[in-house]
A and B are shown apart, each in its own frame.
Chain A
């Protein structure tokens, strides 16, 4: 698919990115890129810096060395106004959902539309309910507060909020964590559908093989702060790389 427009620069590009916290070096010369319309899955042991990668891509963290480029711009070097323009193109699903605790489910999803668009309340309500339906939140939970819903539901509401503005780039931090197999399959279909229908570019941090096989065009295995391996899913899961085999175990699912 991508071979038809080969010259377009990548939407997201990490160049030799280094990031340390105190004496702990989390990213150590990480390089990868994601082209338009592609989905990159990132896999790796817990605590290796997958969430840190996503935070760099939206300018929540700043690399110690190297460059992070999103649509050709470095988020950490933009002026606040330019950064806001760039961020409006990005949807971000936080690992814990990060719902605003004093707003209901419905108002959380409506928040980016209320604050940043001129849509009427009726238009907002339609979009919000449509997105909440897509992530399979039942009507009776629309007016619950975040503290009254389960972890997996928070995750899905966070997903609805990330998608409600129909962003060009979506970053998902473990979209499947805490979901049962049935809902997780429907979430993976949703991620794939968003990609196909809107042509979004995405990064999915995920451990579930089933999810990666559904959504990813390429898989990156993060180890010691670098891209240990980056391959299309088929080759990735049949790779004989000893470290990857050790990580995936005998029968990955």
Chain B
């Protein structure tokens, strides 16, 4: 009984979010008219989380380098550190860390902003004025995060590789030149149809999907908020929780699709 209500609740939540994403896709033609709002959202999400991405990305690269470096050194393979750091940043760590930070900062803010509008009659006012809330509120947020996520992911990848290099040089006695050469060499496997290394573009593709997920989930939670400030709190919490779950689950399936063959 309990498990079925949980499953049907999950199904309903998923359905509502897919519907919202569908509504966004159906309104993509409105993007040029919303460019000012999109730029504003992009500034808010990208510039204002940049320092967090830089800091966290740096340390993630250092951790990966240290963890694998110690093991590799034991079997005399330190010169592979660059390869491992670059590949794991580009494929997994960069997109995932960036998306998680965006969920916690930008996604939660979206839920809170739209949730506040919902509990204070502002959404009702838009409805009475026959103003399309998806065009006004959701579309700019989704588009801007789909742009911000890959941009920030590139930054995260780059700073992570640098951080890994510092550790490799200072703690594992790998020369900077060797590290960077092996890192760049590792990313050289080209994609069939893009002028980008496969690991980089597959990471960026993931991050675009993550950006869409975080924004749609944040907006959907906000639109459903009800019951004053408590309701806004509930919506914010749900947005962060569900975004992180969605990021992890979709990450598995995308990895499977991109790398299985």
User: Which of A's residues lie within 8 Å of B, judged by CB?
Assistant: 55, 58, 60, 84, 87-88, 90, 92, 94-96, 98-102, 111-112, 115-116, 161
Does B128 count as interface, using CB distance less than 8 angstroms?
Answer: yes
Contact A98 B131 (CB under 8 A): no
Chain A hits for B128, CB < 8 A? 58, 60, 87, 90, 92
Nearest B-chain residue to A108, judged by Cβ: B125
- Asked if residues A116 and B130 are in contact (CB atoms below 8 Å), the reply is yes
**A111, B131: Cβ atoms under 8 Å?**
yes
Contact B122 A84 (CB under 8 A): no
Beyond known contacts A60-B124, A87-B130: 11 more, CB 8 A cutoff = A55-B124, A90-B128, A95-B121, A98-B121, A99-B125, A100-B117, A100-B122, A111-B129, A112-B130, A115-B135, A116-B130
Q: Do A116 and B124 touch across chains, with their CB atoms under 8 A apart?
A: no
Those of B85-142 within 8 Å (CB) of chain A:
113, 116-117, 120-122, 124-132, 135-136
Cα A58 to Cα B124 with chains together (Å): 10
| Interface residues in chain B, defined as those with a beta carbon under 8 Å from any beta carbon in chain A | 113, 116-117, 120-122, 124-132, 135-136
Instruction: Give chain B residues whose Cβ lies under 8 Å from the Cβ of A96.
Output: 120-121
Which A residues touch B130, using CB under 8 A? 84, 87-88, 112, 116
3 A-B pairs closest in CB distance: A98-B125, A98-B121, A84-B130
A95 and chain B: residue at smallest CB distance: B121
In the assembled complex, the Cα of A99 lies from the Cα of B117 at a distance in Å of 9
Q: How far is the CB of B130 from chain A (nearest CB, A)?
A: 4
Q: How distant is the Cα of A87 from the Cα of B129 in the complex, in angstroms?
A: 7
Assuming A112-B129, A116-B131, is B136 touching A98 (CB within 8 A)? no
A64 to chain B, nearest CB (A): 19
Once the chains bind, are A60 and B122 in contact (CB under 8 Å)? no
Q: Complex Cα distance A204/B194, Å?
A: 63
Report 19 cross-chain contacts, Cβ distance below 8 Å, ordered by A residue.
A87-B127, A87-B129, A87-B130, A90-B128, A92-B128, A92-B129, A95-B121, A96-B120, A98-B120, A98-B124, A99-B122, A101-B117, A112-B129, A112-B130, A112-B131, A115-B129, A116-B129, A116-B130, A116-B131
Q: Which of B125, B131, B135 contacts A92 (CB 8 A)?
A: B125
Which residues on B sit within 8 Å (CB–CB) of A55?
Answer: 124
Q: How far is the CB of B235 from chain A (nearest CB, A)?
A: 16
Q: Is the CB of A98 within 8 A of B122?
A: yes
Cα–Cα, bound, A32→B9 (Å): 41
Q: Is B124 touching A115 in the complex (CB atoms < 8 A)? A: no
Complex alpha-carbon distance, A96 and B121, angstroms: 8
Q: Which of B117, B121, B136 contacts A115 (CB 8 A)?
A: B136
A23 CB to closest chain B CB (Å) equals: 18
Q: Give every chain A residue within 8 A of B127 (Cβ-Cβ).
A: 60, 87
- Cβ–Cβ contact A94 & B131, under 8 A: no
Nearest chain B residue, comparing its CB with the CB of A87: B130
Q: Taking CB as reference atom, which chain A residue is nearest B126?
A: A100
Q: How far is the CA of A92 from the CA of B126 in the complex (A)?
A: 11
Is the Cβ of B122 less than 8 Å from the Cβ of A101? yes
